[in-house]
Amino acid sequence: MGIDLGSRRIGIAISDSAGAVALPRSTIVRSGDPDRDRRSLVELALEEEVVVVVVGLPLSLDGSWGSAATAAGLEADALRLLLEGQGIPVELFDERLTTVTAHQALAAGGNKERKRRTVIDQTAAAVMLSAWLERADRPA
């Protein structure tokens, strides 16, 4: 399961059982209660029987950690604590330019701006998860 953490929305993508294809799954609108949002993510991970959760790490273009990357790291740590008892590891993965790539893909697919806004977060999560799946050194 890939997660694109935003300040207002959380995009979620799921891969097929073979780990070959990443597909947009859903978007969670932030409730204002981080614990509640995390519980929603844990419930979804259990429902989808995921084997790993990949959280997008929004590094700066130069590769440094800014405030968004630090926040994502803290969020991943909190999710890790909730999921470790379920045997589901949590990894961080560089998500630089995934939102740009997602916008370009949606526009190329003929999606209108209004439609793109409703699915951009989950599409960005799918772009990030797809890149993670394509890594040669990922766990089997």
From first to last of the 140 residues of the chain, give the pLDDT tens digit. 999 998 899 999 999 888 889 999 999 999 999 999 999 999 999 999 999 999 999 988 888 999 999 999 999 999 999 999 999 999 999 987 665 565 566 556 665 555 545 577 888 899 899 989 988 565 55
As a whole number of angstroms, the distance between CA 35 and CA 37 comes to 5
Check: pTM over 0.85? Answer yes or no.
no
CATH value at residue 127: 3.30.420.140
As a whole number of angstroms, the distance between CA 130 and CA 132 comes to 5
Residue 139 is assigned to a structural domain of this protein = no
As a whole number of angstroms, the distance between CA 30 and CA 36 comes to 9
Range of the domain at 24: 2-134
- pLDDT for 139 equals 56
Domain count, the chain: 1
